[in-house]
A and B are shown apart, each in its own frame.
Chain A
């Protein structure tokens, strides 16, 4: 087993979430020229330079990685690069890096020039596995709480999910990540003719364990404790005012799912953004908060207006989420 490769302290990095998001966007527009393995290759359509007699091969082609031998025919190499599912580890678990896609012909004086392979696959999980991630999606919950009845004619509760995460560490196919997640949703209905509304903000910090079945496909399980803020309104015809009930509750999501990378370079060391689609489902638990509706001060409510108690609201229930993520 190889030692796990730790990235920069993720929690510290998550504190700079907003900055990273901006930086990630900017980076996606920059040409990836910092890594030798990702150095821009000559366009395939560009004519190769004619071989110079007596010149060394190194002088005729860019480096493909330290000590890596040049491979055979360019066509074969391209085929291998497309095969994203071949085993990537050796018998000892260490990464067995494949020869980078060679774009050079053997150093023979008579060899014809060969076109360079663009974005050669390095066979690494790399940023397929270790990355920052920003996600947006939809969360669909089933809230059986009786306290939810005044706000919806059924038990469904839709939310928008936003999240920012970072891989904490990776070891072979396994990795862990942390997330900051925000789910927001709202519902409107009537309760015996009175207009009602509910909005809920679920703030959670998630710890996620992943298993990469493929470089572009991984499964994960996540636990995400946090807090839920609920804000409900009730149009009180008797008092002639709109009442509000607000509360905080402890919340924890337990979920599992899968993510599939649908866009991005094959090369593990690519720093270009990647696009993912994920689906997860599980159970969201929250403690109960009391739906005690009170009127706002200066709202014209009758003096000494007593609250309306509609019981307890617990936004607990099963859910699933569909999300699109960008990693970088």
Chain B
């Protein structure tokens, strides 16, 4: 009998279940895509792609990614998902997975489109807005016994079969703090090209991307000058503009660097090279703007290209060719500028700039084509609250609308055409606001609450909505078939051990017309 019992125990113990049943789930990063929402399922090293193939319907797909996801990002067009993972660290066996970047096509049936492997873990990821390049770089959070903080991997997204290009930023002692891809800039003696501008503690490094795909790209390092206090400046902002060849005299492509605690702005002109074997020479110039600027921007005025610097209650308009500066008094100490030229009518002859500040309850709309020497053309609008951010409204339906967010939680819809603002009062609660991808409405929600709202931009009617579980994210998505006008609203509920969503009709949201889906973490585990 004892043998029988042993046999029974042996039989009962035979076989196991897939490890996924024993893995846990915890709230993870989520990003919105054009027709889906991607949520990391780190317990299973995969990404759950939530889409809505029909009104109120939800479809879940799971796509495997690398081990130990560090970060995910959506491509600017919302059709691809980039997942950077650290792999197995430390690697002890050849079979241990390496760090990798997984690119997933999310349109239609989600699938892995390409994969790039690295030798060491990386956590930083920057995507080129034009989807030509990506950068994977090491961050202080990446534990390595020895790490090169200046090492980056340049990834050619136009050539998925190409291996990442490892390169070391030629820094004089600092390490990369931020990256900026420029538009295509003309140069005096060569083809137009794009640059990667790397900001370190005290320098900017220009990486020429023209021939980057063929090998080590050329780097140009420029150390920031000492400020008025005698300290070496730290880059705070980089702006650029393309050459204006039809101006008289022609204006070369220029890059301006604002440094912290410095009343001078470093101007770098891509000037005619002394050696004609070079495409350009980087010609530095210091522009005095009359004080420490809170922001800078290149603008077109009726007198040509100028560097606009906001300094307290003044704006400095600096001619980059002559370094001459014109100080314009402003009605308010604006701190930020958003160029809205393309969004307003009658902007011939210059840019239109929206000036705003998180310490002033007014915004300014400045038509720089009207004057470059006085505040003519500057309209002051009272909005009743300070502005901490300005959001664009996508699409062509409401091009003159801007969304002004305040620190107090309220937000405003500003119509640049009528210069009227419509407040959306939130009782002081810090609602998160985002425009819909089609630009027809706004979505506002309070993270952790069950309240959210839809604001129809056509009539600014706010529809209050509620869910039955706490909200961790709100995403409006379209159908995989782009010709279908239907849209769905996916409200994410991430709890300690599950992922659930409420799906609404994106075009006519109604709390009484929803479907609730939970148990999404089980997708794919029974197949």
Contact at B18–A306, with CB atoms within 8 Å?
A: no
A192 in contact with B17 (CB, 8 Å) = no
Cβ of B496 within 8 Å of any chain A Cβ, yes or no, is: yes
Residues on B with beta carbons closer than 8 Å to the beta carbon of A240: 469
The interface residues of chain A lying within 8 Å CB-to-CB of B520 are 238
CA–CA, A192 and B16, complex, Å: 15
**Which residues from chain B contact A138 at a C-beta distance below 8 Å?**
8
B14 & A153 in contact (Cβ 8 Å cutoff): no
Hey, which chain B residues are within 8 Å of A107, CB to CB?
Answer: none
Asked whether B16 lies within 8 Å of A154 as measured between CB atoms, the reply is yes
A144 and B15 alpha carbons, distance in the complex (Å): 8
Bound complex: CA A310 to CA B521 (Å): 11
Give the Cβ gap from A257 to chain B, nearest Cβ, in Å: 11
Query: Interface size of B by Cβ–Cβ distance < 8 Å?
Result: 42
The answer for the CA separation of A154 and B16 in the assembled complex, in Å, is 4
Q: Which residues of chain B from 488 to 527 have any CB-CB distance to chain A below 8 Å in the complex? A: 493, 495-500, 502, 514-522, 525-527
Complex interface: stretch among A54-62, A65-73, A217-225, A297-305? A297-305
Check if A239 sits within 8 Å of B516, measured CB to CB: yes
Secondary structure dominating the interface of A: strand
B24 at the interface (CB under 8 A from A): yes
Instruction: Give bound CA distance, A208 to B12, whole Å.
Output: 26
CA distance A146 to B14 in the complex (A): 14
Q: In the complex the two chains form, what is the Cα distance from A50 to B130 in whole Å?
A: 123
Number of interface residues of A (CB under 8 A): 42
Q: Of B14, B497, B516, which one neighbours A303 at CB under 8 angstroms? A: B516
Chain B residues within an 8 Å CB radius of A305: 516, 518
Please tell me if the beta carbons of B516 and A302 are within 8 angstroms of each other in the complex: yes
Query: Which residues from chain B contact A279 at a C-beta distance below 8 Å?
Result: 4
B14 to nearest A CB, angstroms? 6
Per the bound structure, the CA–CA distance linking A42 and B527 in Å amounts to 73
The interface centre, meaning the residue of B495, B499, B500 with most chain A CB atoms within 10 A of its CB, is B500
Verify A192–B497 contact, CB threshold 8 A: yes
CB proximity of B45 to chain A, nearest CB, Å = 14
Q: What are the residues of chain A within 8 A of B15 when measuring CB–CB?
A: 142, 144, 154-156
* Nearest CB on A from B300, distance (A): 53
Q: Are B25 and A303 in contact (CB under 8 A)?
A: no
Most B-side CB within 10 Å, residue of A150, A156, A234, A310: A156
| B-side contacts of A189, CB under 8 Å | 21
User: Using Cβ atoms and an 8 Å threshold, which residues of chain A touch B502?
Assistant: 302
Residue pair B515, A156 in contact (C-beta under 8 Å):
no
Cβ of A253 to closest chain B Cβ, rounded Å: 16
CB neighbours of A239 from chain B (8 A): 469, 500, 516, 518-519
Nearest residue in A to B24 (C-beta to C-beta)? A193
A277 to chain B, nearest CB (A): 8
By beta carbon, the residue of chain A nearest B494 is A238
Complex partner residue of A304 from B4, B14, B497, B516, CB under 8 angstroms:
B516
Residues of A within 8 A of B495 (CB): 237-238
CB pair B526 A147 closer than 8 Å: yes
Scan residues 186-200 of chain A and give those whose CB is less than 8 A from a CB of chain B: 189-194
Inside 8 A of A142's CB, which chain B residues have their CB? Answer: 11-12, 14-15
Interface CB pairs A-B, < 8 A, 6: A140-B8, A154-B15, A156-B14, A192-B25, A192-B525, A306-B58
- 9 other A-B residue contacts (CB within 8 Å) besides A153-B21, A238-B499: A155-B12, A156-B12, A157-B12, A192-B525, A234-B519, A239-B500, A303-B514, A308-B518, A310-B522
Give chain B's interface residues, CB within 8 Å of chain A: 4, 7-8, 11-18, 20-25, 43, 58, 467-469, 493, 495-500, 502, 514-522, 525-527
A residues lining the B interface (CB < 8 Å): 138, 140, 142, 144, 146-147, 149-150, 152-158, 189-194, 234, 236-240, 279, 291, 293, 301-306, 308, 310-311, 318, 320, 322
Task: Sort A-B residue pairs by CB-CB distance and give the 6 closest, nearest first.
Answer: A156-B12, A238-B518, A238-B500, A311-B526, A155-B15, A238-B498
